[in-house]
Amino acid sequence: IQLTQSPSSLSASVGDRVTITCRASQDISTYLAWYQQKPGKAPKVLISAASNLQSGVPSKFSGSGSGTDFTLTISSLQPEDFATYYCQQLNNYPPTFGQGTKVEIK
């Protein structure tokens, strides 16, 4: 299953609302997770099952979607949110990731 994220990168300002999309090549129901990765660090899971916020993750992050189209939204971008974000499908083997969306400071 191929996952296509858009955009590949974006520039945004502190306080902006940011939306990243992930499209799957086939129906994956809600078997989708979102990860945040900062330079030199391992990824951190933000959202599972398309919209379930992981424990300890700020509520400014939200996810939605089902089937083939998904979104990750950051309601008010803060300096610590500048990172690369990946979607991942958990529907079947092999698990696959989107190519990533790099969120940079404008």
Pick between residue 75 and residue 96 the one whose CB is nearest to other proteins.
Answer: 96
Of 13, 79, 93, 106, which lies in the binding site for other proteins, with binding defined by CB under 8 A? Answer: 93
Of 9, 38, 49, 78, which lies in the binding site for other proteins, with binding defined by CB under 8 A? Answer: 49
Pick between residue 82 and residue 97 the one whose CB is nearest to other proteins.
Answer: 97
* 96 part of the interface to other proteins, by CB under 8 A: yes
Q: In the structure encoding, which two tokens stand for residue 102, read together?
A: 């790099």
Interacting residues of 60 by C-beta distance below 8 A, sequence separation 6+: 74, 75, 76, 78, 81
- Which residue, among 86, 82, 85, 81, has the nearest Cα to 104 in the 3D structure? 82
Residues that bind other proteins (CB under 8 A): 33, 35, 42-45, 48-49, 54, 86, 88, 90, 93-100
